[in-house]
Chains A and B, each alone.
Chain A
């Protein structure tokens, strides 16, 4: 073995440890195997297998149209709502198959909340936006408990101080950044385990973005977060793990630090550094 071959052998050992982001051990929250999605007869996702650790932020990056949103939506079965979408493969949350016949999609979507690019508050009061979920899922025994859930959720979302005295005003009366935090409060209110965010900051200014990023970092303590972002800097700032998608496939997945300093795949490198691929 030449000196350099040995060095390479050493490097590949390091590569195997790539998939262990958190110091020591971690539990897998979401595990997918061979997830394939077709829209009509056009394939949008070709066999994606990934293990997402609990209580971490994982970002999905990749060029427009590579299937990030499609994959995100398959995790809480939002693709069910799209007529021509067909999903195959396995998606396990805590080892339970989400596509199982017995799984109620409404319950699943409370466990796996979603935040979209454009904040989408209900056309109701700020209070009702947050209270709606806990009420339909029967999480509060009485008005006092519901009030408490609303307050806690708004506090966790970092919005309470700004809205405490105007809970009866419409959610749509808030600024874009506040609306996005309201939507996050709404997702938190039903006590989810996983929160999916699809470009949650793309319509926000740097200050509102920083607040959401700070919030994401705090939420990581109790929730598993997956965030789709087009901002490489944002992926680098908020996530511990990064997955790079290209043309419907998962190309590279590993600790964010590795992906952004020393990506293994030329396609990842070209994409994140802004080169023609």
Chain B
């Protein structure tokens, strides 16, 4: 289901404010997304300068969140939105909260980069990078689902949540084994573990956003219609 194109409001400014809100949330999504990309890139290319720039950008995202929150509070107070308009406002409020966390996590990854560079490169960096690509694609798709009001796309991301968990669990096991086997692995391994953990949490936020987009478009709760745990197998055709 794709959100129907709605007729404009009789009060034109109201339509414009809602459009502006969605555009601003998408723009903030773009900021968070590029922070994740650059943090991963700086880790894989061992580029401390680039990592430092990511850390600085977190403040812009925080500011953007505050501005958007104010916009939403103003809309709620002055326009008293209902139905889909209310969902638009509440969804924006939830999504910017997730995006702010995503940017924070990207910052945490970037912060690790200087010390990571000090230790020897390991073959595990490639696996972490691969996990990063998966998380990035989830984030990218869910933001696209938001911008285009596409519930199916949001469901697709939501259903692939387990991919990230599987990557993380596998990586965790391998890293811990390697660290137990070899003392020199402990330091880089610890950094990579932290990075992987942060990526896993970014994946969780992408999943949260998928739920919100689904609610925004359909008015229904994904989880209520498909209980967790039965997900991957329950819907693969029968």
Q: In which size bucket is the chain B interface?
A: 20 to 34
Contacts A11-B218, A262-B220; is A272 near B82 (CB within 8 Å)?
yes
Asked if B4 is at the interface of the complex by the 8 Å CB criterion, the answer is yes
Q: Which residues of A contact B159 (CB under 8 A)?
A: 3
Residue B226 contacts which of A7, A263, A269 (CB distance < 8 angstroms)?
A: A7
Is the pair B220, A274 in contact by a Cβ cutoff of 8 Å?
no
Number of A residues whose C-beta is below 8 Å from B?
Answer: 28
Residue B11 contacts which of A262, A266, A274 (CB distance < 8 angstroms)?
A: A274
Is the pair A270, B6 in contact by a Cβ cutoff of 8 Å?
yes
Is the pair A273, B84 in contact by a Cβ cutoff of 8 Å?
yes
Q: Name B76-115 residues within 8 Å CB distance of A.
A: 80-87
Q: Closest A-chain residue to B14, C-beta based? A: A274
Q: Which residues of A contact B235 (CB under 8 A)?
A: 2-3, 6
Is the pair A4, B83 in contact by a Cβ cutoff of 8 Å?
no
CA distance in complex: A94, B116 (Å):
77
Q: Binding site of A, secondary structure by majority: helix, strand, loop or mixed?
A: helix
Q: Closest B-chain residue to A268, C-beta based? A: B83
Q: Which residues of A contact B238 (CB under 8 A)?
A: 1
CA distance in complex: A268, B6 (Å):
12
Q: Mark A248-265, 1 if CB is under 8 A from B, else 0.
A: 000000000001111100
CA distance in complex: A90, B82 (Å):
34
Asked if A101 is at the interface of the complex by the 8 Å CB criterion, the answer is no
- Shortest CB-to-CB span from A213 to chain B, Å, is 16
Q: Name A1-26 residues within 8 Å CB distance of B.
A: 1-4, 6-8, 10-11, 14
Residue A276 contacts which of B7, B152, B224 (CB distance < 8 angstroms)?
A: B7
* Most chain A beta-carbon contacts within 10 A, residue among B4, B83, B152, B226: B83
CA distance in complex: A11, B218 (Å):
9
Q: Which residues of B contact A269 (CB under 8 A)?
A: 6, 83-84
Contacts A3-B159, A4-B155; is A232 near B220 (CB within 8 Å)?
no
Asked if B229 is at the interface of the complex by the 8 Å CB criterion, the answer is no
Q: Which residues of A contact B14 (CB under 8 A)?
A: 274
Q: Name A203-231 residues within 8 Å CB distance of B.
A: none
Q: Closest B-chain residue to A275, C-beta based? A: B7
Is the pair B87, A266 in contact by a Cβ cutoff of 8 Å?
no
Is the pair A275, B1 in contact by a Cβ cutoff of 8 Å?
no
Residue A260 contacts which of B1, B10, B82, B225 (CB distance < 8 angstroms)?
A: B82
- Shortest CB-to-CB span from A122 to chain B, Å, is 38
3 shortest interchain CB distances as A-B pairs: A262-B219, A10-B225, A3-B235
Interface residues of chain B, those whose CB is within 8 Å of chain A, are: 1, 4, 6-11, 14, 80-87, 151-152, 155, 159, 218-220, 222, 224-226, 235, 237-238
Interface residues of chain A, those whose CB is within 8 Å of chain B, are: 1-4, 6-8, 10-11, 14, 232-233, 236, 259-263, 266, 268-270, 272-277
Given A2-B235, A4-B152, A269-B6: 17 more A-B contacts, CB < 8 Å: A1-B237, A2-B237, A4-B151, A7-B220, A7-B222, A7-B225, A10-B226, A260-B86, A261-B82, A263-B83, A268-B83, A273-B6, A273-B81, A274-B10, A276-B8, A276-B9, A277-B7
